[in-house]
Chains A and B, each alone.
Chain A
Amino acid sequence: MFEVVLNGLILGGMYGLIALGLNLQYGIARMLNLSYGEFFTAGAFTSFFTITLYHYNPLLGLSVSVPVSFAANWVIYRFLLLPLIRRAPNRDALDGDVVLSTFGLLFVFQGFEQVYWGGNVRGYYFLSFPVHFFGASLPANRLLAFAAAMALGGVLIFVLRKTRFGTALRAIAIDPIAAGLSGINVLELSALAFALGGAMVAISGSLVSTFIASSASAGIVYTLKALIVIIVGGPGRMAGAIAAGLLLGVAEQVGGYLIDPGLTLAINYAILILVLLIRPTGLFARG
Chain B
Amino acid sequence: MIGAAVLAALPLGLSAYGVSTGIVYFANVALATAWALFSGPTRYISLATAAFVGVGMYTVAFAHVSLNLAVCLALAAIVGLLFALVVGLSTLRLRGVYFVIFTFGLTELMRQLSSWYEINITHKLNRFITISVDSIVIYEMLLVLAVAAVLGNWYVSTTRLGHALRAIGEDETVARHTGINATWVKVLVFAIAASMMSLVGGVYALRYPSIDPTVGFANAWSFQVLIAALLGGPGRPWGPAIGAVLLVLLSDLLVGAFSRYFTIALGVCFVVIVYFIPGGIAPRIEQLYGVLARARQAARSAPGASAPQEPATDAAAADDKTGTETGEIVRRRRSAFHPLMRRLTRPSPRLVVRDGAGPPPGAMLSVVGLRKAFGGLVAVRDLSFDIPAGGVTGLIGPNGSGKTTVLNLITGELSPDAGSILLQGEEIIGARSFEICRARIARTFQLVRVLPGMTTRENVMLGRMFGSDPTGPAAARSEADVLLDRVGLADRAELIGSQLTYIDQKRAELARALATRPQLLLLDEWLAGLNPTELKIGIDLIRRIQREGITVLMVEHVMEAIRALCGRVIVMNAGMKIAEGTAAEVLSDPKVTQVYLGDDDAAA
Contacts and interface: CB of A to CB of B under 8 A. Distances in A.
B113 A108 contact: no
Nearest to A107: B267
B273 A100 contact: yes
Contacts of A115: 260-261, 264
Interface stretch (A64-72, A125-133, A270-278): A270-278
B101 A272 contact: yes
Contacts of A100: 226-227, 230, 270, 273-274
B91 interface: yes
Interface residues of B, number: 45
B97 interface: yes
SS of B interface (majority): helix
A228 interface: yes
A273 B97 contact: no
A99 B100 contact: yes
Interface in B47-76: none
B43 A273 contact: no
Interface stretch (B115-123, B187-195, B467-475): B115-123
B96 interface: yes
B142 interface: no
Given A89-B498, A277-B90, A277-B91, A97 B264 contact: no
B170 to A, nearest CB: 10
Contacts of B104: 224
Nearest to A32: B97
Interface string A25-65: 01000001000000000000000000000000000000000
Contact of B274 (A97, A114, A280): A97
A92 B271 contact: no
Given A89-B498, A108-B268, A101 B275 contact: yes
Given A228-B105, A260-B120, A263-B116, A101 B274 contact: yes
A84 B274 CA distance: 9
A241 interface: no
B502 interface: no
B94 interface: yes
A231 interface: yes
Nearest to A276: B102
Nearest to B171: A90
A124 interface: no
Interface in A97-114: 97, 99-101, 103-112, 114
Given A32-B97, A96-B43, A97-B278, A89 B105 contact: no
B267 A106 contact: yes
A120 B207 CA distance: 31
Contact of A105 (B267, B273, B278): B267
B184 interface: no
Contacts of B102: 272-273, 276
Contacts of A108: 263-264, 267-268, 271
B549 interface: no
Interface string B34-55: 0000000001010000000000
A86 interface: no
A107 B266 contact: yes
A158 interface: no
B109 interface: yes
Nearest to B100: A99
Contact of A231 (B98, B227, B268, B274): B98
Contact of A111 (B119, B264, B271, B278): B264
Nearest to A272: B105
B183 interface: no
Interface in B258-302: 260-271, 273-275, 278
B429 interface: no
A269 B112 contact: yes
A262 B115 contact: yes
A32 B45 CA distance: 14
A224 to B, nearest CB: 7
B120 A262 contact: yes
Interface string A70-96: 000000000010011001010111011
A216 to B, nearest CB: 9
Nearest to A230: B101
A93 B234 CA distance: 13
A241 to B, nearest CB: 15
Contacts of A109: 267
Contact of B96 (A83, A92, A103): A92
A159 interface: no
A192 interface: no
A265 B112 contact: yes
Interface of A: 26, 32, 80, 83-84, 87, 89, 91-93, 95-97, 99-101, 103-112, 114-115, 224, 227-228, 231, 260, 262-263, 265-266, 269-270, 272-273, 276-277, 280
Closest 10 CB pairs of A and B: A104-B270, A107-B267, A111-B264, A111-B263, A108-B267, A266-B112, A104-B271, A269-B109, A101-B274, A104-B267
Given A111-B263, A276-B101, 7 more contacts: A100-B227, A100-B270, A108-B271, A115-B264, A262-B115, A270-B109, A277-B90
23 contacts: A84-B275, A89-B452, A93-B43, A95-B97, A97-B278, A99-B100, A101-B271, A101-B275, A103-B270, A104-B270, A105-B267, A107-B267, A107-B270, A111-B266, A224-B108, A228-B101, A260-B116, A262-B119, A263-B116, A265-B108, A266-B109, A273-B106, A277-B90
